[in-house]
Chains A and B, each alone.
Chain A
């Protein structure tokens, strides 16, 4: 539709110490050329789950168009037309290759770097991860070249797996071959990073202000009112939904802080991490949604929990540690528990996909313009296998992917071939990455 005014893509609502980026509005596209030159950007994210997956519950027994999905993927069934499932992708560099035990350390460190990490707890060395190669190329177009997020507190030093540094098990993104990028874990810290903290004040004044729990939207209300008057009804609705989602995130963080303060009244700094796994996941995914929606970044890595984690899942009545359970030695009761954990993770992911799908952007949805990879660095966690890695992409990478299918490649097909194909769609052209042998084919609509 033709609106009264054209807005620059990089328009912010500003207030004291606050800058709220805006979603893609019709007013940002020259209306008559909207379908030609103002396509929304393509974004990519990686959601990594640890300790492998029960593959019998993941792999359908068919190729081609997705129909009924196996148990673990069941929550994604309503969105099956938006996902592409891959078979037989392999990370050879995650294997021992003479380095012995330590598959958890290796599989996480090699997941996005495509190289075998050095087995050490001191002088760590892996490689530049492919998300950072993309961030280096397209990151100058957004406020944050990339965001690294996680949900589980994890140390960065020491031995976390048979002589592999914790830096390997607890990070996905690597800026250089010796510098991992630790994930942001605290939702409040992430929120303030995305939007500012609403005040450019001294710590004492900030603490005083925090008592009143003012929304950052209060700080930008003047700008908001001005902008609204210049927007058409569709954009006004979009803006309202977007700002409401930010306010909802704030409420979730405040609730978590309030809950945590009740648990520990002496806590010096409010800690905004919800105790409940699902709430925490929702909070982080809501912020990822807003970050993509407002083009704050085009590259996100999300380490749900760290590789080798022994986190229990009392939320679903599983008090046992995740990692010990995955060494199930084919015992049905243990396999069942791991399957439930795998399903639980996918359920949270599916809720995020539903949200991304519900947001209109350009001619389609926000999800259409994304490539959100969900996967793990191990397939069979019991045997520590690095082939047929559980991998799916939600979204169509800017309406390029022919989604709604399961594509099975030949055994040993390097995972890095997928990364080359994704880099192409991000506008970053690289001949080789990691142990790639070419670009993954059969992805496109044509």
Chain B
């Protein structure tokens, strides 16, 4: 039984990224920010680089943003596993290797088996989304998504659940065959976000020392500092993809005309507005998680209530 109607939750986001660029880390922070403000939900996080430390980092970030949840809600809080690509050597020089000993190093992921197969994780996550209430943000190789398309019966699930695939062009060509397959077979609209969009919308590095200062152990700020010598501004291709996936109709960007895929176009007039929401969401403080339950009867459509009453009557008769 589905629970359509007014209590439909915000859009579920699958974020599949290489986590090799600081832009991906900021996009992850934005996603947590959107979730905290009830504008999106995290459906699944996948790391396509194969870097176990990156998966550990994503897990630590999830715990950081959940840290404001206390009491009985914390007891029943449950963390979704992190997807991780298989068979790729973890680069020793990743920004995450420089975070050893930091609080972000404390995570439940100790070994590869503590992570999930990305394609399976995404499939399972999509099954739990309302129809047309999910989006996939890809920032890195499309390996997981290509494997997802090969799973038995999954294309129908994607078409039913996902309204948009948003592809940051940075890193997608690392697996050309997977990219080709996804662009050819993905059953929903696709929007690509070119590198030039990210270059034109830099995330201001000064924000790290200012807006993230509320925590002395902020994992995003730690990663930002570890990525490159400060100060620096970061391109934002992944952030732009995330923003468009969550708010496609809010006028942040324009779209190219027709065809598949369509491309994101920057409207110069929106530049300051976009930068403001980048900072606001990426630096958002952890907030207590609200329990998510199916809508109450009062929120259901009348026909759902009628069906339940009918079921009860039939049940009584059967007894």
Contacts and interface: CB of A to CB of B under 8 A. Distances in A.
Contacts of A118: 1
A100 B293 contact: yes
B184 interface: no
Contacts of B319: 157-158
Interface string A88-131: 10101101111111000000000000000011111000000000
B128 A122 contact: no
Interface string B275-319: 000000000000000000110000000000000100110110011
B315 A437 contact: no
Nearest to A95: B128
Nearest to B295: A100
Number of contact residues on B: which range applies?
35 or more
A122 B2 CA distance: 17
Interface in B122-142: 123-124, 127-130
A410 B116 contact: yes
Contacts of A411: 81, 113-116, 121
A14 B312 CA distance: 51
Contacts of B117: 410, 412-413, 437
A121 B315 contact: yes
A199 interface: no
A208 interface: no
A412 B314 contact: no
Contacts of A100: 1, 3, 293-294
B112 interface: yes
A383 B116 contact: no
A408 interface: yes
Given A100-B294, A158-B319, A410-B113, A437 B120 contact: yes
B128 A97 contact: yes
Interface in A312-329: 329
Most buried by A among B78, B81, B124, B128: B124
Point out which of A99, A408, A410 has the most chain B C-beta atoms below 10 A from its C-beta.
Answer: A410
B113 A120 contact: no
B130 to A, nearest CB: 7
B1 A99 contact: yes
Contacts of A373: none
A118 B307 CA distance: 14
B120 A409 contact: no
A121 B311 contact: yes
Interface in B38-92: 72, 75-76, 78, 81
B151 interface: yes
Contacts of A96: 128, 294
Residue from B113, B119, B153 whose CB has the most chain A CB atoms within 10 Å = B113
B266 to A, nearest CB: 36
A415 B311 CA distance: 32
A101 B130 CA distance: 16
A347 B2 CA distance: 42
Contacts of A202: none
B69 to A, nearest CB: 14
A96 B3 CA distance: 12
Contact of B315 (A99, A122, A383, A431): A122
Contacts of B114: 411
A188 B311 CA distance: 37
Nearest to B292: A96
Nearest to B314: A122
B315 A410 contact: no
25 contacts: A93-B127, A98-B128, A118-B1, A119-B1, A121-B311, A121-B315, A122-B314, A122-B315, A157-B315, A157-B319, A163-B1, A163-B308, A330-B75, A383-B76, A410-B113, A410-B115, A410-B116, A411-B81, A411-B114, A411-B116, A412-B81, A412-B120, A413-B120, A414-B120, A435-B124
Given A383-B78, A411-B121, 13 more contacts: A87-B113, A98-B129, A121-B314, A121-B315, A122-B314, A158-B318, A159-B315, A329-B72, A409-B113, A411-B115, A432-B152, A437-B117, A437-B151
Interface of A: 87-88, 90, 92-93, 95-101, 118-122, 157-159, 163, 329-330, 383, 385, 387, 408-414, 431-432, 435-437
**Closest A-B pairs by Cβ, 4 of them:** A100-B294, A411-B81, A412-B116, A411-B116
